[in-house]
Chains A and B, each alone.
Chain A
Amino acid sequence: MAIVSTNSNISRYGRPVLAWGVALLFFFPIFWMVLTSFKTDADAVKPEFLIWFTPTLDNYLNLTENYDYWRFATNSVITSVCATLFTLVVGIPAAYAMAFNPSRATKDILMWMLSTKMLPAAAVLYPMIFLAKGIGLYDTHILVITVVSLINLPIAIWMLFTYFKEIPKDIIEAGKMDGVSTWGEVKEILIPLAWGGIASTALLIFIFCWNEAYWTVRLTTIDAATLSKLIEGNRAPEGLFFGRLSAVSTAAVGPIVVLGWFCQKQLVQGLTFGAVK
């Protein structure tokens, strides 16, 4: 009897405590970053002002006045929106073809696409930079959008493929009997039926594009530089100004955190779809 009640106490109180503990652990760096963004650079490094300090908006004002925040933010929006659209425009037909007209090579192609994600990015860094400079596309939107799209394309295709597989083949075949063209099949049947899955994929890819740093930092200088570049730029040369750096980081991740918050349900569904059905 005693053992049972101890066990149930553990599951009753222990699990929530553990869950909250893990959540706080993950949340703490973000909390600390947001908090620090309201401190002066001097206060930011003083332990006595860890929690109790006089908040200031200087870092944020500085951001828009001296660091051209809006240009970087606009570039991030352009890159993420265009790359997401491009990924879907290429990914939907690709996933459609593999889901409904599979060949013997389909499985291998899917695995091959995934394997490209295993290639260390650093391995192709210099060829990419030389190539970009050689064809005169270094620091342009078109280059950044292309690279960011291609990086995320395998994941998008995999996700879309999983969603499309859930659509009964009979419905697509009924469409064929009813005289839909291939484009009609995609527009009239596939997209409406897989709308939830396509939205989840788009959202996730958008977040990945927004957060992309490795290539956006290295393939841009000013014109096509995204918020990742702004953070990177504030890191080193003048020493570590924690207040300012935190404000930059908060302003960079803010929009995506808000977006993610509103679309939590879609995201969780997108990431677990197929796995738990």
Chain B
Amino acid sequence: MGRIVLNNVTKSFGETQVIPPLDLTIEDGEFAVFVGPSGCGKSTLLRMIAGLEDLTSGQIEIDGDDVTQVPPSKRGLAMVFQSYALYPHMTVRKNIAFPLRMEGMDQSEIDKKVEAAAKSLNLSDYLDRKPAALSGGQRQRVAIGRAIVRNPSAFLFDEPLSNLDAALRVGMRLEISEMHESMKTTMIYVTHDQVEAMTMADKIVVLQAGVIEQVGTPLELYHTPRNVFVAGFIGSPKMNIFSGSEAEKLGAHTAGIRPEHIDIDLSGGTWKGTVGVAEHLGSDTFVHVHDTALGDLVTVRIAGDVAVKHGDTIYLTPQMDKIHKFDEQGLRV
């Protein structure tokens, strides 16, 4: 079980309010991702759930119990830190066993659990090493192992992959997703990387300046962003957002079209422009187009390879049903 409810939670540091009143429910077994630019309060929110940060006001419930005043270890949560936060003076075995030892568990029981966790994380050969003798990926696995053995009602991840190199990050991303599939335990995952959010989450919570901009499944956020911020934040490459006369023609104050929803043609189309840079990825081509009616830079994503180069004149045509329209307040219409 691990249903987490935040009721009217706020956080201030001195005079500065970093989290204005906020309500959020994370259902049992859900993989929720908090995503937003740095300084948006996502880590603070996670730390408040963990109990490492006090609430200024409001209430946190886990499985119906008010845990607002309950110390971190008594909340039944396990946390994986960005820096791994392993105990450098202990071996991998002792690191993983530590929370169990603190619970006062029987040594033979501890050994059994540690061996099982190590096996599932491919750490069996490293149990007697210290963290300094491990690679970044292995350290992260130890941190996850230390969280798993506690059998928590929810896992909290604070940007756990940002210290890993790109290849390892993709691998660990899959491992964590698979872990969620097999354990079905609630997970809250904080990241600034929207690709991680899109690929892992059941539910994404987009935050900006401590305010929840939108909560939804990855595809809800992609297809129906509630406002301009979410539209611009979710999706890679970013949505092309424009206002002015071109937006007014579409009956909106501001409009947006994703790079993958624009077609290109060399002879004619809605908007004329000049190719700046064409990035050929093999599977896709990202074409950055200058001097269009939409603005100075429009990004277009074309599946497969397309033979355009710097300086070419091309015409862009949006898929009209894929255009997002927003009003003066930036809200979806």
Which residues of A are in contact with B by a Cβ distance under 8 Å?
A: 168, 170-171, 173-180, 184, 188-189, 192-193
Contacts and interface: CB of A to CB of B under 8 A. Distances in A.
B102 A170 contact: no
A177 B82 CA distance: 15
Interface string B54-74: 000000000000000001111
B81 interface: yes
Contacts of B83: 168, 170
B81 A173 contact: yes
A188 B85 CA distance: 14
B103 A193 contact: no
Interface string B84-112: 11111100000000110011000000000
8 contacts: A173-B79, A174-B86, A175-B87, A177-B78, A177-B79, A178-B73, A179-B102, A180-B102
B72 A176 contact: yes
B146 interface: yes
Given A168-B83, A170-B83, A178-B146, A193 B102 contact: no
Interface of B: 50-52, 71-74, 77-79, 81-89, 98-99, 102-103, 146, 150
A192 B89 contact: yes
Nearest to A176: B72
Quick one: which of B74, B78, B88 has the most chain A CB within 10 A? B88
Contacts of A175: 87
Contacts of B81: 170, 173-174
A193 B52 CA distance: 21
A95 B51 CA distance: 23
Q: Give me the 5 closest cross-chain CB pairs, A-B, nearest first.
A: A179-B73, A170-B85, A174-B85, A178-B99, A179-B102
Contacts of A168: 83, 85
Nearest to A104: B14
Contact of B77 (A170, A177, A193): A177
Interface of A is mostly: helix
Nearest to A180: B102
A1 B99 CA distance: 68
A176 B85 CA distance: 12
Given A171-B88, A174-B146, A193-B89, 14 more contacts: A170-B82, A171-B85, A173-B52, A173-B79, A175-B87, A176-B52, A176-B73, A177-B72, A177-B73, A177-B79, A179-B73, A179-B99, A188-B87, A188-B98
A253 B107 CA distance: 50
Contacts of A189: 87
Contact of B102 (A171, A173, A184, A192): A184
Contacts of A192: 89
Nearest to B103: A179
Contacts of A176: 51-52, 71-73
B85 A193 contact: no
Contacts of B98: 178, 188
Nearest to B71: A176
A264 B83 CA distance: 34
A180 B104 CA distance: 11
A169 B103 CA distance: 22
Nearest to A193: B89
A178 B96 CA distance: 10
B124 to A, nearest CB: 22
B78 A171 contact: no
A175 B88 CA distance: 12
A188 to B, nearest CB: 8
Nearest to A171: B85
